[in-house]
Structure 1
Amino acid sequence: MPGASDTLWDIAKAEVERRENHEGDRDGLECWGRSVFFIGNKNGGKTTIILRCLDRDEIPKPTLALEYTFGRRAKGHNIPKDIAHFWELGGGTSLLDLIPIPITTANIRALAIVLVLDLSIPNAIWPAMESLLQVTRKHVDKIIIKLGQTNPKTATEIKQKIWNNLPKDHSDRELIDPFPIPVVIIGSKYDLFYEFDSELKKIVCKTLRFVSHYYGASLVFTSKSEALMLKTRAFINNLAFGFDRSKSVSVDQNKPLFIPAGLDSFSQIGPPPSSDSDIGKLHAQTPMDLWKKVFEKKFPPKDIGVFKEVKDPAQDPQYAEYEVDAMRAQKNQELEQYKRDAAKTWKEMEFDS
């Protein structure tokens, strides 16, 4: 039983620990529907994408920390609806400690990651992409190792399943390091990115293609355009409800990229868009490091995910409660009056002295 002094977070933490302690008894096989975990740039459009995928006509609200919602889809008449769990991490890269919460041994077999990157701010792309993917990958690997201790067969199946997206005769099988679970990288705000200089778009497009292919991820560009949003929605529905996924491919940098996992190649992507002399001066240790250095030379890192000024949630309209807000306003008035009285008394004391 929770203690009287336990906070909501204490209770939630205890519940997660309780579930994880019992997962070994279930041999790690229980899975309640599919889960999709959205991470990415702050204000990149994650909430908008989720709402559109769930057919919810709502105005997107800022995500303060980690939010949860769910959706249902019917596959046929008299068939129980499938349920999908949607998690969204707010704050860009400022809340990395919350990433482990939605990733557990109970849902790892039916979990997918959606990384949303704001194409309109290229300088913020690499910092967010690198830190979010690294922390997520580290925890996913940890969960699979833990699952392997109780059910090695399931853990092996998870790691092997991701390779099925890549043809057995693909020339890059020995060169990539795919995530153990499905990943979709979404480049948002394409309508703003479309106005960029052609050379700048080339660097962004080729870099995201390289990263996506290396991690065995799908790559999709989207915007407020209905046509692009429908394509994005189809991808998310595939992850959330198992609906068929489009096999069409678009690699033209002058058009929105649309590349399902396993359908790109390093030979088609080509080398980093930089002169040979510049590449020779970068002293990169790995191909990923080389692409990072070329990208950051053109777009110096700018992490907009860390809060420089934390907004007061008590002032956020989405959390409005009349009785509480009225009492808070009264107490604020009393505090201001106390400050004025105290200041007046202090001045009188100075005058007397």
Structure 2
Amino acid sequence: MADDEDPNDDDNGQNPNQQQQHSIDIWIESQNLLKNSEILQHEHVYLNGYSTLVFVGSQFGGKSSIINRFIDPTTKSLSLDKYDETIGLEYRYLCRRIDSLFDDRQRSKQQQQQQMNETISLENNEKICNIWELGYELLFIDLLKFAINLETIQNITLIIVIDLTQPNKMSILLEQIIKWIRKYLQSLLATNDDQFEQQLRQLALKRSIYYRNDQDQDNQDDRPKNPLLIPVTIIGSKYDEYQNMDPEIKKQITRYLRLVSYELGGQLLYHSCRSETLTKRINQAFESLAFDRLTFDLNERSKPSISTNIAKPVLLPFGYDTLAKIGVESKSSESVMDQAKKQFEQIFPQKILEQSYQSTIDDDIDPRFDPNFAEPEIDKILEYKYMLLDK
């Protein structure tokens, strides 16, 4: 028997108290890592590696051209007319490698005190931007449920492409898109807890006043009453044709689109696929939406590019506009929108969209002659087969 052995020592010659202290340190460290992981997941959801851009809007408004020039900026404008029309909901994606670095300045004061010298570094972080495009305006709008869900809602952006040369479809199209999105988001969030919806609402409010000056920031009366819970970018397309329209028409169109963007807490950009300058501008906006961290904290703002002149392409970033800047004097944005819509539709009577979405289910309609489902190659084969049957 070894009488000189210390009974407090284990087989490894370590004191149990030291082992216990060491195990406690590991536990605390694991808890700290878990907290950091949760912070990154909830406050910087883009680190999950995915973002989503959902394109909707005018038929033949240039959505496919805009997307393709974002995915491949080297695409020449001369080849834009070669794109096939989008049918239903189409999917594409864009991948980026991002070197991300987050330091203690992006955490709460309490976390800074606990981990003063800690730095979280993610190098060569690969992020994928999912891109969905809805064709035929509202005909297949229910398909958006595949793109917008609880897994994507925290890092999704709705992009509404509006043909500036068709004001007679502008108001009704925007109204119905926004109505569907609001209703769907409400039903989607009804299955989740109220805290999650409140977080989205707080972020929407921050976004709706993001680029205002200090004086406008404090004006509680001139804020959107019900901004959309997800970021919205309105793109006025075909600016190359729109710029030659009557100045009074352009003034009314721009005023209305600014009010819609204001109400949604979104941003507004005019664009032409035939302009390299405007394409670069809009691609920069997409890059930010797809691959940047969008917390909309005021201390992270950079000096924005702004253009409100109707003689030039309009560019209004998130939260810049106010009713006063648009030229509207009112305390209620909701009543302003109602009045603006009535005034706009008096000048530009709206077409009934359902007429262009006439269903082929009707027995009186032959699918071969329905322009909503035109497929030239298939139609030629069908025509040939019907000709043989007639013989």
Normalising by the smaller structure, the TM-score range is 0.7 to 0.9
Q: Is 2:170 the counterpart of 1:125?
A: yes
The letter for the 2-side match of 1:143 is L
Per-residue Cα deviation, 1:115-139 (whole angstroms, up to 9, x for no partner): 0000011111111111111101211
- 1:142 paired residue among 158, 168, 187: 187
Q: Is 2:235 the counterpart of 1:235?
A: no
Determine the structure 1 residue equivalent to 2:61: 44
- Kept in 1, the 8 Å contact 2:222–2:323? The answer is no
Determine the structure 1 residue equivalent to 2:313: 256
1:302 is displaced (CA, Å) by: 2.0
Question: Aligned ranges for residues 176-325 of structure 1 at < 5 Å?
Answer: 176-223=225-272, 224-242=274-292, 247-271=304-328, 286-303=335-352, 306-307=356-357, 309-312=370-373, 314-316=375-377
1:297 is displaced (CA, Å) by: 0.7
Per-residue Cα deviation, 1:68-99 (whole angstroms, up to 9, x for no partner): 11001122496032100001110012222223
With 232-241 and 263-272 compared, the bigger mean Cα shift is at 263-272
- 1:35 paired residue among 41, 52, 56: 52
Q: In structure 1, how many angstroms separate the alpha carbons of the residues matched to 2:161 and 2:72?
A: 19
Determine the structure 2 residue equivalent to 1:106: 151
The alignment's TM-score, normalised by the length of structure 1, stands at: 0.74
Per-residue Cα deviation, 1:138-188 (whole angstroms, up to 9, x for no partner): 11222223222xxx4333222211222215424445543210010000000
1:332 is displaced (CA, Å) by: 6.4
Unaligned 5+ runs, structure 2: 1-41, 101-122, 211-216, 295-301, 359-369
Q: In structure 2, how many angstroms separate the alpha carbons of the residues matched to 1:334 and 1:65?
A: 27
3-state SS, counterpart of residue 42 of structure 1: coil
Determine the structure 2 residue equivalent to 1:281: none
Q: In structure 2, how many angstroms separate the alpha carbons of the residues matched to 1:332 and 1:209?
A: 48
Q: In structure 2, how many angstroms separate the alpha carbons of the residues matched to 1:268 and 1:174?
A: 12
Per-residue Cα deviation, 1:299-328 (whole angstroms, up to 9, x for no partner): 110256733533546535xxx8xxxx9xx9
Per-residue Cα deviation, 1:200-256 (whole angstroms, up to 9, x for no partner): 111011111111111101000011211111111111111111179871111111111
Q: CA RMSD in A?
A: 3.0
Q: In structure 2, how many angstroms separate the alpha carbons of the residues matched to 1:129 and 1:164?
A: 23
3-state SS, counterpart of residue 98 of structure 1: helix
1:110 is displaced (CA, Å) by: 0.6
Aligned residue pairs total 290
Determine the structure 2 residue equivalent to 1:95: 140
The letter for the 1-side match of 2:248 is E
Per-residue Cα deviation, 1:268-316 (whole angstroms, up to 9, x for no partner): 11139xxxxxxxxxxxx82211111100111110256733533546535
Determine the structure 2 residue equivalent to 1:155: 197
Q: Flag the 1:334–1:146 CA change in 2: closer, same or farther, 3 A.
A: closer
Q: Flag the 1:170–1:238 CA change in 2: closer, same or farther, 3 A.
A: farther
3-state SS, counterpart of residue 82 of structure 1: strand
1:337 is displaced (CA, Å) by: 3.2
The letter for the 1-side match of 2:252 is I
Q: Flag the 1:83–1:172 CA change in 2: closer, same or farther, 3 A.
A: farther
Q: Flag the 1:33–1:154 CA change in 2: closer, same or farther, 3 A.
A: same
The letter for the 2-side match of 1:339 is D
Q: Is 2:82 the counterpart of 1:63?
A: no
- Kept in 1, the 8 Å contact 2:222–2:322? The answer is no
Q: In structure 2, how many angstroms separate the alpha carbons of the residues matched to 1:240 and 1:212?
A: 20
Unaligned 5+ runs, structure 1: 1-26, 273-284, 341-353
The alignment's TM-score, normalised by the length of structure 2, stands at: 0.67
The letter for the 1-side match of 2:128 is I
3-state SS, counterpart of residue 339 of structure 2: helix
The letter for the 1-side match of 2:148 is I
3-state SS, counterpart of residue 79 of structure 1: strand
- Kept in 1, the 8 Å contact 2:224–2:262? The answer is no
Question: Aligned ranges for residues 7-46 of structure 1 at < 5 Å?
Answer: 33-46=50-63
- Kept in 2, the 8 Å contact 1:209–1:269? The answer is yes
- Kept in 1, the 8 Å contact 2:70–2:283? The answer is yes
User: Percent of aligned positions with the same letter in both sequences?
Assistant: 28
The letter for the 1-side match of 2:254 is C
With 162-171 and 181-190 compared, the bigger mean Cα shift is at 162-171
Q: In structure 1, how many angstroms separate the alpha carbons of the residues matched to 2:346 and 2:385?
A: 55
With 295-304 and 256-265 compared, the bigger mean Cα shift is at 295-304
3-state SS, counterpart of residue 147 of structure 1: coil
- Kept in 2, the 8 Å contact 1:42–1:304? The answer is no
